Structure 1
Amino acid sequence: MKKSAFLFLAIVIILTSCQEKKQTESEIASKPYTEEPHSYAQPNDAIIKHLDLDINVDFESQLISGTATYDIKNNGSKTIILDSKFLEIERVTQNGETTEFELGEFDESLGQPLTIQIKDDTKQIAITYSTTAKTEALQWLTAQQTADKAHPFLFTQGQAILTRTWIPIQDSPQIRITYDATVKVPQELMAVMSAENPKEKNKNGVYNFKMVQPIPAYLIALAVGDIEYKEISERTGVYAEKSMLAKVHEEFSDMEKMVVAAENLYGDYDWEQFDVIVLPPSFPFGGMENPRLTFATPTVIAGDKSLTSLVAHELAHSWSGNLVTNATWNDFWLNEGFTVYFEIRIMEALYGKDRANMLALIGRQDLEDEIEGMKETPNDTKLKLDLKGRNPDDGMNSIAYDKGYLFLRTLEEKVGRDNMDTFLKSYFKKNAFSTTNTEDFITYLNENLLEKNNITFNTEEWIYQPGIPDNAAVIQSDAFTNVEKTLNDFIATNEIDVAATANWTPQEWVHFIRNFPTDISAAQMQQLDNIFDFTNSTNSYITMVWYEQSILNNYHDNNVDTKIAEFLNTVGRRWYVTTLFSAFAKAERIEEAKEIYKTARGNYHSVTANTVDELLRMD
């Protein structure tokens, strides 16, 4: 081909590509916003587009104060409505002029609507405000509650609807904005956000941030502490307190390999940087997929990379959740079911099918346990939820994660992996930087996968009916079969082949412990503990399931009760904490649980504390 002809063709391709992109952006912009049961915002009337945040972080008063300035789009409304909860609103302006505002009736879950008077030509509003002692997204930690015990620490947790407790904002996942931020902190500390981040401390304690890709409010995140950064590759690295940094860097050293594996599956990573910050142990989740800066719990630092599927999970969210977001929390499975599927595909690519199937089978068991616990509320086992009048946290359970995964795994087995991968790659590309709902997904699925390949699938049953359909994929693991044989032999003979367990992974040990029969004796548990020292395991996952079994089976030897209390007083990961307190409740040891909780509650983020309050029915 001649150079001139090649150049002409290249220009045509580029122009066509740009035109397609513009058409997609135009479609997104013109798409009406759906009714949102968890936000007061009326985005079809007036909507925020860009945030310029200027705040001061005061550790003495444990308050954040400053101004949130928004560029807005007004579709002819006289007001714009934001979400606010436990905030002190001092002043509001529109186009630089003071304007009237009103905080509406308070709702325990949703907070208050902040209604601001605007004009036809209003392009910008600014809210001067401060947080309060009741602000739920923030956790202020004393130096003693950190790893290095030298300086205090602060982190935010916005999902699902807590960003409104530290920033007045339209707090709906379907509303995406870009943002800039200026954050002032004590000079000895560093601030990082879900944005372009510093790699080292500066001298004046003022940090500037920019997030150029539009994201929903729940993904705006901030952490402030005595932290350092260590690079893994040009686009990956870790933040942690100094005493943790080397361990964290070694544990997460496969991060770049994970990004490459993910890109090979479903297309380019569109966020430039993928970093992880390991927070103090009170962080309520395993991880939180804040763009460019995943927040992670220190409980995944096992010393052998055995729990790093969490990093694969949060990385997968860079496509499912961050790039393509559930429009409302009723569609939460679109975030998490896809992410678990993607996570397990990444783990298979890096570590093999056996490990991937072990992870999938553990999730399958979690799903069975969740469904058993929801026998009285079967509608909550549907993928598409109806959470109106409820806290969206109610939908953040194994149904969204593991039933969502099982649906996609079953679909993959029906259509074939190659067809599945082609479909998902196109789904992420088509919907990039936008939101979608269950109904739109079903339409896209039918048109671009099922009808295209003349395939019939029971999609409606999977999504809109409770329980698990009969055609669910059967997940098998030879490793777990051997684990079960070892356990059954031990229960029958009180003898265990220690050599056969020498090379077990933590997942195999978790499977072994979780499947103890209900009539296992305390003597048998003591025998196992004496051999394997489960009570003092350094792997938090093994420890958690062992403590659960100890509580349920009234095992009290080897100082396990003291260790359980210590664990609950130092670890704030909601999954671990609620598992153990639930075990106390099942074992009718509720008063013992309450005694532990009296000292532990102050170490928990509000997300964890609120869940345990309800579980233990604390006044």
Structure 2
Amino acid sequence: MQILLPALAAFVIAAPAAAQQAQPAPILTTPEARDVWTHAEPQAARVTHVDLDLDVSFESKTVSGRALLDVLASPHAKQIVLDVDDLEIFEVTNAERRPLRYTVGPRDKELGSALTIELPAGTRQIAIRYSTKPGASALQWLAPELTAGKKQPYLFSQGQPINNRSWIPTQDSPGIRQTWSATITVPDGFVAVMSGERLDGGKGELVPHYQRRFRFRMDKPVPPYLIALAVGDLAFKATGPRSGVWAEPSQLDAAAHEVADVEKMIDAAEALYGPYRWGRYDMLVLPPSFPFGGMENPTLTFLTPTIITGDRSNTDVVAHELAHSWSGNLVTNATWSDSWLNEGFTTYFENRIMEAVYGKERAAMYADLDWDGLVKDIKDAGGDADPSTRLHGDPGATAGQLDYFKGSTFLRTIEQAVGRDRFDAYLRSYFDRHAFQPQTTAGFLADIRKNLIKGDKALEAKLQLDRWAYQAGLPENAVHVKSATLAEVDAQLAAVKAGGPVSAVTPKGWATQQWLRFLNGLPREQTPARLKELDETLGLSASTNAYVRSAWAELAIANRYEPALPSIQAFVKSVGRGLLIRPIFEGLMAQGDWGKPIAKRFFEDARPTYHPVTAAQIAKIVSK
């Protein structure tokens, strides 16, 4: 049973004016909702609103200023516990500027430190003056040469899952939703953007000392990992009445062309699962070091430039991040043990958007490739019995992309069992019932049993809900969608596998998904002559498609094909997206004495171009 604690109701101190814009979001108090990745104790005292007033310094690579936190506490609470990671704390006071006693606990290398602040009776706000360190895990400081324009430095943040504690002192847990506001001061000539409503039209206000001030607001409670910031030489282009794209000027037209269908996607999403509740849907195309395909920051999705291939074949990334506006941003996993509630739901929803906008066959291509990824992840994890193939498990322990692939397959299996119309009606009501609230696997299963299954024992047995959610491997009722387009690629692949010439392959007009099906389907053992033929005939090392380059690198490394190494080294230095470069470093390390020194050399060369999140991931791989 889900227990919601809406606002510490029985023993609440009245919230300050800033927090009275909206009712504080509920928190879950069931055992499975306990977040082991936070130091916070929200049932005693919690943050409901964060107001930031920060200066950005490219010279010192720091963000510094003040965070004003609205506090909601029980009358018996003597302290509030926040999450911080390597912040320099200068002062902690109450709203009347009276100092408050505080301690910063020892730093855990994964979780940072607990900032414990005493709460005298009646304390409603806490002001913290602080500064980040240059190595803050959420912040990427790019030199001009690492940007598209090559003239100005660039800053962007990445909060998920628990990195925002390195630049915002708050309770950094997805189950503790907070509203926020911010004033960001940057050097003149730069533009600041954030994942909230822009209060100054996006142009900022010129202030003394050749600086420009920007103001933002998010009046809906969000998990703190969704507070995001970017500062750089940025320009904007509208893609519709409520959408647009930010990018460096030299990238703007190409970016706008690639995401031009976003308004159609918003319309399709709303027709499926209800109104878009965040106002605008803008996108920011970042420099290549951005570690993910996209990040679903509300009102401002962050996107990797690797999706820009000119043919819109990677707009599934846009559909995915848009879908997060419902699954993830609106209804959020309470802890990272249940991240499939964000990613599995979103991958399913993304596919439905793609079907609505581009047709059933294109959606089938994505679903069929996801099935390939699901099978591969289970195999790589060690098979169906491995605990990392469970949906609900230890945070961060799920194999590969199973949160995405197994989670979406689970929902697709339910859809087929009950019928699409019935399932769509259920999902729409689910998002309405749990809007702006955290959720757990147990909570979802209770909800679907109450509102969809409704005591139907035959349907309960058919769906195998607990088997999907809590057990390893892939249940036998899993639905595999097959693509006719990819079947045609499979026919050409079969001919090549049988020894036919690569010149017989006709890849003209292939989308990314067709390339991936072909390259990933090739046997991992190839002769040098065959690899040379593949590369020269299909132009793999020179491809401008990052997905193609990554898949080719994996195949070349598996065969220790040294002629491909210069291209691979250039690729891992030019792309910071973890999905595309992690397999390359893992493949090199798997090649033992041949590959390990190459991996370490490539990483040493590329590390300055990586976001701290990516650098930490690759460092773990190459240090094994």
> What is the TM-score with the length of structure 2 in the denominator?
0.91
* Map of 1:429 onto structure 2: 432
Task: Give, in angstroms, the shift of residue 478 of structure 1.
Answer: 1.7
Deviates more, 1:46-55 or 1:534-543: 534-543
Which amino acid counterpart does residue 433 of structure 1 have in structure 2?
A: F
Residue by residue over 1:210-238, the C-alpha shift from the partner in whole angstroms, topping out at 9 and shown as x without a partner, is 11111111000000000000001111000
* Map of 1:90 onto structure 2: 90
Which of residues 503, 514, 520 in structure 2 aligns to 1:514? Answer: 520
> Residues 145-224 of structure 1: matches in 2 within 5 Å?
145-197=146-198, 198-200=201-203, 202-204=205-207, 205-224=212-231
Residue by residue over 1:257-299, the C-alpha shift from the partner in whole angstroms, topping out at 9 and shown as x without a partner, is 1100111110000000101101110011111000000011111
Task: Give, in angstroms, the shift of residue 126 of structure 1.
Answer: 0.7
Task: Give, in angstroms, the shift of residue 28 of structure 1.
Answer: 5.8
Residue 422 of structure 2 corresponds to residue 419 of structure 1? yes
* Map of 1:139 onto structure 2: 140
Residue by residue over 1:437-486, the C-alpha shift from the partner in whole angstroms, topping out at 9 and shown as x without a partner, is 11110000111111266622200000110010111112211222221221
Task: Give, in angstroms, the shift of residue 401 of structure 1.
Answer: 0.7
d(CA) in 1 for partners of 2:568, 2:24: 54
d(CA) in 2 for partners of 1:345, 1:502: 27
d(CA) in 2 for partners of 1:516, 1:483: 12
* Map of 1:614 onto structure 2: 620
d(CA) in 2 for partners of 1:599, 1:530: 27
- Aligned pair in 2 of structure 1 residues 396, 266: CA closer, same or farther (>3 Å)? farther
Task: Give, in angstroms, the shift of residue 333 of structure 1.
Answer: 0.6
> Residues 66-145 of structure 1: matches in 2 within 5 Å?
66-76=65-75, 77-96=77-96, 97-145=98-146
CA RMSD of the aligned region, Å?
1.8
Contact in 1 for aligned 2:25/2:177 (Cα 8 Å): no
Which of residues 359, 384, 396 in structure 1 aligns to 2:392? Answer: 384
d(CA) in 2 for partners of 1:215, 1:300: 27
* Map of 1:321 onto structure 2: 328
Which amino acid counterpart does residue 42 of structure 1 have in structure 2?
A: E
Residue by residue over 1:58-88, the C-alpha shift from the partner in whole angstroms, topping out at 9 and shown as x without a partner, is 0000011111001111112010110011101
Residue by residue over 1:86-122, the C-alpha shift from the partner in whole angstroms, topping out at 9 and shown as x without a partner, is 1011100123211100011221111111000112211
d(CA) in 2 for partners of 1:151, 1:183: 18
Q: SS in structure 2 opposite 1:535?
A: coil
> Residues 468-617 of structure 1: matches in 2 within 5 Å?
468-496=474-502, 498=504, 500-557=506-563, 560-588=564-592, 589-617=595-623
Residue 313 of structure 2 corresponds to residue 306 of structure 1? yes
Residue 442 of structure 2 corresponds to residue 439 of structure 1? yes
- Aligned pair in 2 of structure 1 residues 26, 448: CA closer, same or farther (>3 Å)? farther
Task: Give, in angstroms, the shift of residue 540 of structure 1.
Answer: 1.1
- Structure 2 unmatched runs, 5+: 1-21
Residue by residue over 1:390-441, the C-alpha shift from the partner in whole angstroms, topping out at 9 and shown as x without a partner, is xx4x448411110101111111111111111001000001101111111110
- Aligned pair in 2 of structure 1 residues 301, 62: CA closer, same or farther (>3 Å)? same
- Aligned pair in 2 of structure 1 residues 273, 131: CA closer, same or farther (>3 Å)? same
Q: SS in structure 2 opposite 1:185?
A: strand
Which amino acid counterpart does residue 164 of structure 2 have in structure 1?
A: T
Deviates more, 1:193-202 or 1:482-491: 193-202
d(CA) in 1 for partners of 2:27, 2:131: 34
Contact in 2 for aligned 1:70/1:124 (Cα 8 Å): yes
d(CA) in 2 for partners of 1:206, 1:145: 25
* Map of 2:337 onto structure 1: 330
Task: Give, in angstroms, the shift of residue 519 of structure 1.
Answer: 3.1
Which of residues 458, 464, 469 in structure 1 aligns to 2:464? Answer: 458
Contact in 2 for aligned 1:320/1:339 (Cα 8 Å): yes
Task: Give, in angstroms, the shift of residue 203 of structure 1.
Answer: 3.6
* Map of 1:362 onto structure 2: 369
Which amino acid counterpart does residue 127 of structure 2 have in structure 1?
A: A
d(CA) in 1 for partners of 2:217, 2:202: 14
Contact in 1 for aligned 2:503/2:537 (Cα 8 Å): no
d(CA) in 2 for partners of 1:217, 1:363: 29
Contact in 1 for aligned 2:89/2:129 (Cα 8 Å): yes
Residue 300 of structure 2 corresponds to residue 288 of structure 1? no
d(CA) in 1 for partners of 2:498, 2:400: 35
Task: Give, in angstroms, the shift of residue 584 of structure 1.
Answer: 1.1
- Aligned pair in 2 of structure 1 residues 26, 217: CA closer, same or farther (>3 Å)? closer
Runs of 4+ with deviation above 4 angstroms:
25-28, 496-500
- Aligned pair in 2 of structure 1 residues 465, 210: CA closer, same or farther (>3 Å)? same
Which amino acid counterpart does residue 83 of structure 1 have in structure 2?
A: D
Which amino acid counterpart does residue 393 of structure 2 have in structure 1?
A: L
* Map of 2:15 onto structure 1: none
Residue 235 of structure 2 corresponds to residue 228 of structure 1? yes
Task: Give, in angstroms, the shift of residue 509 of structure 1.
Answer: 1.3
Which amino acid counterpart does residue 413 of structure 1 have in structure 2?
A: Q
d(CA) in 2 for partners of 1:249, 1:430: 35
d(CA) in 1 for partners of 2:72, 2:556: 57
Task: Give, in angstroms, the shift of residue 498 of structure 1.
Answer: 4.3
Which amino acid counterpart does residue 548 of structure 1 have in structure 2?
A: E
Task: Give, in angstroms, the shift of residue 488 of structure 1.
Answer: 1.5
Which amino acid counterpart does residue 52 of structure 1 have in structure 2?
A: D
d(CA) in 2 for partners of 1:549, 1:375: 21
User: When the two structures are aligned, how many residues end up with a matched partner?
Assistant: 587
Contact in 2 for aligned 1:491/1:520 (Cα 8 Å): no
Residue by residue over 1:505-539, the C-alpha shift from the partner in whole angstroms, topping out at 9 and shown as x without a partner, is 22111100101113332222222222221211111
Q: SS in structure 2 opposite 1:371?
A: helix
d(CA) in 2 for partners of 1:157, 1:95: 30
Which amino acid counterpart does residue 255 of structure 1 have in structure 2?
A: V
- Aligned pair in 2 of structure 1 residues 355, 497: CA closer, same or farther (>3 Å)? farther
Contact in 1 for aligned 2:391/2:398 (Cα 8 Å): no
Task: Give, in angstroms, the shift of residue 27 of structure 1.
Answer: 11
- Aligned pair in 2 of structure 1 residues 248, 427: CA closer, same or farther (>3 Å)? same
> What is the TM-score with the length of structure 1 in the denominator?
0.92
